[in-house]
Structure 1
Amino acid sequence: MGHLDHAAFGWLTPVLSYVMACIGAALGLRCTVRALGATGRSRRNWLITAASAIGTGIWTMHFVAMLGFAVSGTDIRYDVPLTVLSLLVAMVVVCAGVFAVGYGRDRTRALLIGGLTTGVGVASMHYLGMAAVRLHGDVSYDPTRVAVSVLIAVVAATAALWAALNIKSPIAVTVASLVMGAAVSSMHYTGMFAVRVHVTPSGAVLPGATAMQFIFPLAVGLGSYLFLTSAFVALSPTTGEREASASAQQPVESGAVHGPARTV
């Protein structure tokens, strides 16, 4: 058995990965709130932005945490196509879950379908990402911990979508995203503690790219996308603000200029 280190850089990767998950969640919840207040193409665009934010946040969280993953007695490489596929799975499945909630007629059913879809998607993204790991030896999993990690993912996704439907105030969105970030992180580390590696020492060259060659630049790029989108969403006016500014620009009718007589 190889000794597994989940935090080779100390607290840096767990903390940074948690922050990425929280930013993705906060942005996703904010966009979903905006989507529910919009209609037509605007609603669809907000939902796509929400899905890409949550998907990106979850994926970045996973692979930033993976930067700290090391196994004694072997190097680790990552299969590039599988790693990219795991990102696409995260995006597409979260998109399906968010759209189920955004366009669902029956709130409860939409929430359960959306939560289940998104949760299973998050878990499949995680295990696809793990399948992309290349090392000298065999990787196996503890089935109970795998099942628990999938359950955490489904519960976390359902809770996050519920929050998106029911929470409007910025403070509540912040709290919800901190909770969702914690849930996504705990799902990741539960999944990681399910891993068993039987190392077979070898001098052969491993296929794939190192974490620093491939995952680090990709995580930086996606992290930048999250920050830029956050800035855009924060600065774009809400539906209420847009209506208020539109009504303020309309010509005021002559009778209403003076307003009601003020009583002292």
Structure 2
Amino acid sequence: MQGTVDGFNYGLVTPLVAYLMACLGGALGLRCTTRAMLVTRSWRPGWLALGSAAIGSGIWTMHFIAMMGFTIEHTPIRYDWLMTFASLAVAIVMVGVGIFIVGYRGARGTALFTGGTVTGLGIASMHYLGMAGMHLDGQLTYNTFTVSVSVAIAMAAATASLWAAGQVRGFLWSVGAALIMGLAVTGMHYTGMAALDVHVGGTSEPSVGGSPA
């Protein structure tokens, strides 16, 4: 049977806190990216790596805060620890690739498009890999069109935020870029969740996994 999905079990609390975490990670990461463009090339890799870690971990934290408000009727949800932390690694690595491209090639033209695309794909990959780590007594299916829309949102907003970070015009530009990045992550997340259908089995015991604290 089809399980009733509730993505807002705590009302607006989890979406708002998740968005704030995404903005915080984006602010730190994009500020590091901006800083990397102002320092000598010998210091640039360190700043870009720090920015990648901040954005990647911010995306990951946002996802699992949002998932605290996610419930499925008739089945508990548990998480596989290995898959959960693999999603964190994927987010940091793929976001890092995009940021390094922009950091060395500039936030314009082909470099911006490529960096934004890879960063957006990193956001989407983290989300769907994290979802794949869920263990429950049922099966997850996705609407292909809505999934495609969620990926497009992530790519477009990530590209816009990297462009804003690359302008190097002060603190307000970094804040604006972080707000856009927060929208990229949360918009992608909830659009992806809208693509989800859950078919509850009702016969087997849910697999054992770890629920992230």
Query: Fold conserved (TM > 0.5)?
Result: yes
Q: Structure 1 residues 69, 106: closer, same or farther in 2, change over 3 A?
A: closer
Distance in 1 (alpha carbons) for counterparts of 2:123 and 2:176:
21
Match of 2:162 in 1: 161
Q: Which residue of 1 is the match for residue 151 of structure 2?
A: 150
In structure 2, the residue matched to 1:186 is 187
Determine the C-alpha separation between the residues in 2 that align with 1:122 and 1:14.
17
Match of 2:112 in 1: 111
What residue number does 1:13 align with? 14
**Aligned residue for 1:126?**
127
SS state at 2:87 partner: helix
Query: 1:139 is paired with a residue of what secondary structure?
Result: strand
Distance in structure 2 (CA, Å) of the matches to 1:204 and 1:52: 37
Offset of 1:41 from its aligned partner? 2.8
Pairing 1:1-264 to 2, within 5 Å after superposition: 1-104=2-105, 107-202=108-203, 204-210=205-211, 215-216=212-213
| Letter of the 1:154 counterpart | M
**C-alpha distance in structure 2 between counterparts of 1:33 and 1:42, whole Å:** 13
Bigger shift: 8-17 or 89-98?
A: 8-17
Letter in 2 for 1:138: Q
Q: Which moved more, 1:48-57 or 1:173-182?
A: 173-182
Asked whether the equivalents of residues 47 and 98 of structure 1 are also in contact (C-alpha less than 8 Å), the reply is yes
Question: 1 CA distance for matches of 2:9 and 2:64?
Answer: 13
- Quick one: distance in 1 between partners of 2:106 and 2:120? 21
Amino acid at match of 2:40: T
> Structure 2: which amino acid aligns with 1:31?
C
Separation in 2, partners of 1:64, 1:173: 24
Q: How many residues align?
A: 212
The C-alpha deviation readout for 1:162-204, integer Å capped at 9, x for no partner, is 0111142212321221222122101100000101001111362
Q: 1:199 to 1:86 in 2, by over 3 A?
A: same
How far apart in 1 are the matches of 2:204 and 2:5?
A: 20
SS at the partner of 1:98? helix
Separation in 2, partners of 1:162, 1:65: 27
Tell me which residue corresponds to 1:253.
Answer: none
What are the ranges of 5 or more consecutive residues in structure 2 without an aligned counterpart? Answer: none
Q: Return the TM-score normalized by structure 1.
A: 0.77
Q: Which has the higher contact order (CA 8 A, sep 6+)?
A: 2
1:67 Cα deviation (Å)? Answer: 1.0
Q: Which runs of 5+ in 1 are unaligned?
A: 217-264
Q: Distance in 2 between matches of 1:11 and 1:166?
A: 33
Q: Which has the larger radius of gyration?
A: 1
TM-score, scaled relative to structure 2: 0.95
Structure 1 pair 134–205 and aligned structure 2 pair: CA distance change class (3 A): closer
The 1-side partners of 2:115 and 2:70 are apart by 31
1:33/1:168 contact within 8 Å kept: no
